[in-house]
């Protein structure tokens, strides 16, 4: 305290010019020259403190020079006792505006050449490195005159650094040194200066303050930048990677990191030195991918290995003279070394070996042709199980091999290498016949590749193969196998696009089209599937004419599923011809008579999502023109289609027509029976308000009339529209809704939570093409939750009805949080206390209403336990939850679905939370679970047994 007072007094005297800086130094002289090191350090600390408190431009250049010389003369002495000299030097260089000209060389030499930087404390080393950073940025011209002397001194200062905070700074300095100085004979030494840290083996220290913690990613990024910073490092980088990636002591995860670094190196360096280590790298890739100990894990090749292979070939392309030789070497070596893993399928690595070869083949045509010459022969052996010793393994090996066939067909098609394919196809077709159920998906995928291969002669066998699949499609689609449907669709669309004439001819023969159009009997179930095939077959104007005629024929027009029609528009959304518009016109006026009004509205909206703006407007104008002056009792079919329109004039014309019919028509109450206000007017009003820049004019025009009908719903619509658009007024409207909510009698509560209901297609911002910000869901949650919590906390403790309504909102908040990819930890923890209050309120009461609210609370709690970081949930909250879970399970009144949800919560809790926190509650929780273990319901007994087992196995 006395020291700080002394510093403050000195600063005041200097600023007021009652004393000069030289006089202050003279006053401190006896202490500075004292024989006692602590006294000397204390004096230096005072002087450094005084300097740091002075304004940046207070000291003249001569004074700064004097102080620099003074501190430099005492540099080594201070290193042994405290480091106040470094503090003074750092402030003088980095913060003083009047730094003397040409002072950088003596400064650098005294500190970094003659001094021993690594003998200082971490804080002082950091200050010295920051000082050097300043000189490199502001006084680089002077430092450059030092040449190699600078490089050598920098290496001495940085060598042996272990503190991650200092290392990050060193890596930054390193890049400046490499950029500005000729490394000369020190190239290898400079590389080794940072190479010793590769690969990064570091975990952040949790005891540091948050602002001091250096992430592993920051260290890794800095280190890699240094290693790749100079073309002369090429040889050393590829050599370093070779040593580390073959190091048996490093884990596979570390080796994958090395693969990622290798990919970056290949982008930067020339291939001259890379070629030397190709065999080492390929050996390492096989070791990582074909490790027998890892065979039970994912069958895909890790993406870092794929990228490394891809960029190795990319690097080799830079040397066109030796490219072919290098690529053939890679492919030949890979074929030779992968063959045992492929053919000895019972090792369990056949699929991964094929995938590794695929990664190599996809990089270049030369590699592909070398590998293709062998691969189809191997595939034939595998799908016939020629290399399988144990019969029980045959089915598994065939199942693992089949998906690779279309993949390799695509590679062969890409490089147009037909010979091995033509040799293998007859065998494949013969095998497919015996594996129909297992191979059907692969058959469609393979057929698509063969169709796309224009230069492949279509032999009789291939044509028979296509015909077989066309004949089989009705059956496959009727099975409603969602995994099979995409490849069937792809086959249909490809065949229709590349060979329409033959496709139509064979399809009509297979389905017996001529007989179908003459049928007088009731429709067969295959007719619906035929309609689906016709829809999917539309890929251009020509096919639309043919298959459109079939779809809108008398036999098919009323069996075509709306969802299939949506798929048609989805597949063709990028077409610029009349395919879409021609079909849409026919569908609108011929193809919807069999659909329910709500289904029609939904399908119409789904179709609209895939239309471009001009076509969307064209259709909407026709809809407006067809509005009858006297509305029918049904709402218009385009009521949700219009929500997507970007032409606000059209939207308002539409709304005006609807409102005229609703409010001033001959029989306006007729429409109230059909929810015209709720399902048409409110959504359209919301969409217009959201998209209109001059939204206040929309409010002025429509609000008064809508408020008469339903004020609560009108306010919710207005709030939602502006809230989603990201307008400040939207937030204010939400707050106003809550205020009204608090003031309104219990029986007339507006549904504030409806604002967050974006799953309803009438208000889905994406489907309705609202104006919205980039991360609108995240923004809305972050804005809504604080408002929600604030108003909840303002409720009176005995205001149970209002609280119940707040509890119901929790589920909507959590549903929205679940849709956001980034965990919203802060917001989730804000609503945690509300759960702590809600659960005790409803776990005891057993009325029907309280049971419904309890179910919502449990649903919300499940979501919270899934998303919130377990370490952030307080022990007090866990205690409340567990006590009430036990209460629910012990009660005879709660229904089975409530108890099952409670067990779900207990299961999540024991799986995610720290066992040390749960141990004190283990005994009474297990006792509560035992009470439902004897339930008459099997589902309850099984669930209770699972959860009880987890809790009983808890250990600290």
In this prediction the pTM is 0.76
- What pLDDT shows up at residue 390? 63
Residue 635: helix, strand or coil by DSSP? coil
State the burial class of residue 380 (Cβ atoms within 10 Å of its Cβ: 0-12, 13-18, 19+): buried
Please enumerate in sequence order all residues whose Cβ is within 8 A of that of 928, keeping only pairs 6 or more positions apart, or say none. 885, 886, 889, 890
Please enumerate in sequence order all residues whose Cβ is within 8 A of that of 231, keeping only pairs 6 or more positions apart, or say none. 268, 269, 270
C-alpha 178/C-alpha 733 separation (Å) is: 58
C-alpha 555/C-alpha 570 separation (Å) is: 25
Please enumerate in sequence order all residues whose Cβ is within 8 A of that of 587, keeping only pairs 6 or more positions apart, or say none. 565
- Identify the CA nearest to 536 among candidates 491, 581, 505, 498: 491
- Identify the CA nearest to 951 among candidates 901, 888, 889, 908: 908
C-alpha 610/C-alpha 764 separation (Å) is: 15
**What is the token pair recorded at 47?**
């002087």
CA 780 to chain centre: 19
CB-hemisphere CA count at 13 Å for 360?
Answer: 29
**What is the token pair recorded at 19?**
């004393």
Cβ-based neighbour number of residue 898 at 10 Å: 20
C-alpha 281/C-alpha 359 separation (Å) is: 14
- Identify the CA nearest to 282 among candidates 401, 378, 367, 405: 367
- What pLDDT shows up at residue 447? 95
Query: Are 104 and 135 in contact, with CB atoms under 8 Å apart?
Result: yes
Listed as ranges, residues in the chain with pLDDT below 70 are 1-6, 11, 16, 21, 32, 35, 77-83, 205-212, 293-299, 387-392, 514-526, 591-595, 628-635, 664-674, 745-751, 797-798, 823, 845-846, 955-956
Please enumerate in sequence order all residues whose Cβ is within 8 A of that of 884, keeping only pairs 6 or more positions apart, or say none. 839, 840, 843
**What is the token pair recorded at 422?**
């033509």
Residue 359 phi, psi dihedral angles, 5° rounding: -60, -35
Neighbour-count burial for 601-621, b at 16+ CB within 10 Å, e otherwise = bbbbbbbbbbbeeeebeebbe
Place of tokens 């290098």: 326
C-alpha 146/C-alpha 108 separation (Å) is: 10
- What pLDDT shows up at residue 695? 92
Question: 3-state SS of 525-552?
Answer: HHHHHHHHHHHHCCCCHHHHHHHHHHHC
**What is the token pair recorded at 195?**
């190479």
**What is the token pair recorded at 547?**
């298959």
- Identify the CA nearest to 175 among candidates 156, 148, 193: 193
State the burial class of residue 664 (Cβ atoms within 10 Å of its Cβ: 0-12, 13-18, 19+): exposed
C-alpha 875/C-alpha 11 separation (Å) is: 51
- Identify the CA nearest to 827 among candidates 817, 836, 812: 817
**What is the token pair recorded at 719?**
């709030």
What are the E-state strand segments in 740-792?
Answer: none
Question: 3-state SS of 860-894?
Answer: HHHHHHHHCCHHHCCHHHHHHHHHHHHHHHHCCCC
- DSSP H or E run through 341: helix 323-343
Place of tokens 């608090």: 742
Query: Are 721 and 689 in contact, with CB atoms under 8 Å apart?
Result: yes
Please enumerate in sequence order all residues whose Cβ is within 8 A of that of 474, keeping only pairs 6 or more positions apart, or say none. 511, 526, 529, 530, 533
Task: Using CA atoms of 234, 238, 243, 244 in order, give the dihedral in degrees to the nearest 10.
Answer: 100
Query: Are 789 and 834 in contact, with CB atoms under 8 Å apart?
Result: yes
Query: Are 879 and 920 in contact, with CB atoms under 8 Å apart?
Result: no
Please enumerate in sequence order all residues whose Cβ is within 8 A of that of 719, keeping only pairs 6 or more positions apart, or say none. 730, 733, 734, 736, 737, 755
C-alpha 721/C-alpha 211 separation (Å) is: 40
C-alpha to C-alpha distances, 120 to 32, 41, 82, 113, 160, nearest whole angstrom: 20, 15, 9, 15, 13
Residue 201: helix, strand or coil by DSSP? coil
**What is the token pair recorded at 257?**
């990191």
Expressed in angstroms, the distance from the first to the final Cα of the chain is: 47
């Amino acid at each position: 305290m006395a020291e700080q007072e002394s510093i403050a007094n000195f600063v005041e005297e200097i600023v007021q010019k009652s004393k000069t800086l030289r006089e202050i130094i003279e006053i401190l002289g006896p202490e500075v020259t004292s024989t006692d090191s602590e006294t000397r350090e204390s004096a230096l600390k005072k002087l450094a403190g005084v300097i740091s408190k002075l304004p940046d431009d207070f000291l003249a250049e001569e004074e700064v020079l004097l102080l620099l010389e003074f501190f430099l003369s005492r540099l080594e002495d201070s290193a042994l006792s405290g480091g106040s000299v470094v503090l003074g030097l750092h402030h003088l260089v980095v913060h003083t505006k009047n730094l003397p000209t040409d002072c950088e060389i003596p400064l650098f030499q005294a500190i970094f050449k003659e001094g021993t930087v690594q003998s200082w404390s971490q804080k002082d080393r950091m200050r010295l490195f920051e000082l050097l950073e300043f000189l490199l940025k502001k006084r680089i011209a002077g430092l450059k005159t030092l040449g190699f002397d600078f490089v050598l001194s920098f290496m001495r200062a940085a060598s042996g650094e272990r503190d991650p905070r200092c290392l990050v700074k060193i890596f930054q300095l390193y890049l400046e040194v490499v950029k500005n100085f000729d490394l000369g004979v020190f190239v290898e030494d400079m590389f080794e200066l940072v190479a010793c840290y590769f690969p990064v083996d570091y975990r952040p220290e949790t005891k540091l303050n948050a602002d001091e913690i250096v992430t592993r990613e920051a260290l890794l990024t800095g280190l890699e930048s240094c290693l790749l910073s100079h073309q002369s490092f090429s040889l050393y980088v590829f050599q370093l990677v070779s040593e580390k990636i073959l190091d048996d002591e490093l884990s596979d995860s570390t080796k994958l990191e090395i693969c990622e670094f290798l990919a970056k190196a290949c982008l930067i360096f020339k291939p001259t030195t890379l070629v030397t280590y190709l065999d080492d790298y390929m050996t390492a890739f096989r070791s990582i991918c074909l490790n027998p100990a890892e065979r039970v894990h994912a069958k895909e090749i890790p993406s870092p290995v794929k990228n490394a292979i891809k960029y190795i070939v990319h690097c080799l392309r830079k040397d066109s003279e030796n490219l072919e030789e290098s690529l053939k070497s890679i492919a030949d070596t890979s074929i030779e070394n992968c063959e045992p893993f492929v053919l000895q399928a019972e090792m369990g690595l056949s699929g991964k070996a094929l995938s590794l070869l695929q990664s190599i083949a996809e990089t270049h045509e030369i590699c592909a042709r070398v590998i293709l010459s062998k691969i189809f022969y191997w595939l034939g052996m595998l799908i016939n199980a020629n290399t399988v010793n144990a019969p029980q393994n045959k089915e598994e090996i065939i199942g693992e091999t089949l998906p690779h066939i279309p993949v390799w067909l695509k590679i062969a098609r890409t490089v147009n290498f037909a010979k091995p394919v033509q040799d293998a196809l007859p065998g494949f077709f013969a095998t497919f016949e015996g594996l129909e159920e297992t191979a059907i998906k692969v058959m469609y995928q393979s057929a698509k590749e063969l169709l796309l291969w224009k230069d492949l002669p279509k032999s009789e066998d291939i044509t028979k193969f296509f015909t077989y699949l066309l004949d089989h499609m009705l059956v496959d689609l009727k099975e409603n196998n969602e995994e099979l449907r995409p490849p069937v669709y792809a086959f249909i669309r490809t065949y229709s696009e590349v060979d329409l004439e033959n496709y139509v001819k064979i399809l009509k023969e297979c389905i017996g089209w001529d007989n179908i159009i003459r049928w007088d009997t009731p429709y067969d179930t295959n007719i619906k599937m035929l309609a689906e095939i016709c829809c999917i077959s539309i890929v251009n104007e020509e096919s639309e004419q043919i298959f459109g005629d079939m779809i809108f024929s008398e036999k098919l027009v009323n069996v075509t599923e709306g969802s299939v029609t949506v798929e048609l528009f989805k597949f063709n959304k990028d077409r610029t011809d009349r395919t879409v518009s021609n079909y849409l016109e026919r569908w609108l006026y011929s193809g919807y008579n069999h659909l329910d009004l709500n289904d029609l509205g939904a399908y119409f909206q789904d179709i609209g999502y895939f239309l471009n703006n001009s076509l969307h407007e064209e259709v909407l104008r026709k809809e407006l023109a067809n509005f009858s002056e006297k509305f029918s009792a049904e709402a218009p079919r385009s009521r949700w289609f219009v929500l997507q329109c970007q032409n606000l004039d059209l939207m308002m014309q539409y709304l005006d027509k609807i409102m005229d019919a609703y409010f001033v028509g001959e029989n306006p109450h007729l429409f109230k029976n059909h929810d015209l206000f709720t399902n048409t007017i409110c959504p359209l009003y919301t969409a217009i308000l959201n998209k209109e820049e001059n939204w206040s004019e929309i409010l002025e025009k429509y609000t008064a009339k809508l408020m008469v009908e339903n004020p609560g719903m009108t306010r919710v619509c207005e709030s939602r529209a502006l809230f989603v658009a990201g307008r400040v007024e939207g937030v204010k409207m939400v707050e106003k809704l809550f205020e009204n909510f608090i003031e309104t009698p219990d029986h007339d509560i507006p549904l504030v939570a409806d604002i967050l209901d974006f799953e309803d297609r009438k208000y889905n911002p994406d489907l309705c093409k609202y104006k919205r910000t980039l991360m609108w869901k995240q923004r809305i949650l972050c804005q809504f939750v604080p408002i929600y919590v604030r108003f909840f906390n303002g409720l009176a403790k005995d205001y149970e009805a209002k609280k119940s309504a707040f509890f119901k909102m929790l589920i909507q908040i959590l549903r929205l949080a679940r849709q956001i990819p980034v965990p919203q930890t802060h917001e989730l923890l804000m609503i945690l206390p509300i759960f702590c209050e809600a659960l005790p309120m409803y776990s005891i009461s057993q009325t029907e209403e309280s049971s419904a609210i309890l179910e919502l609370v449990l649903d919300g709690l499940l979501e919270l336990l899934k998303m919130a970081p377990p370490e952030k949930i307080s022990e007090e909250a866990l205690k409340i939850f567990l006590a009430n879970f036990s209460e629910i399970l012990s009660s005879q009144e709660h229904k089975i679905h409530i108890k099952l949800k409670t067990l779900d919560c207990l299961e999540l809790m024991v799986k995610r939370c720290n066992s040390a926190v749960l141990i004190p509650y283990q005994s009474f929780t297990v006792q509560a679970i035992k009470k439902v273990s004897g339930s008459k319901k099997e589902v309850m007994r099984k669930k209770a047994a699972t959860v009880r087992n987890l809790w009983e196995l808890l250990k600290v």
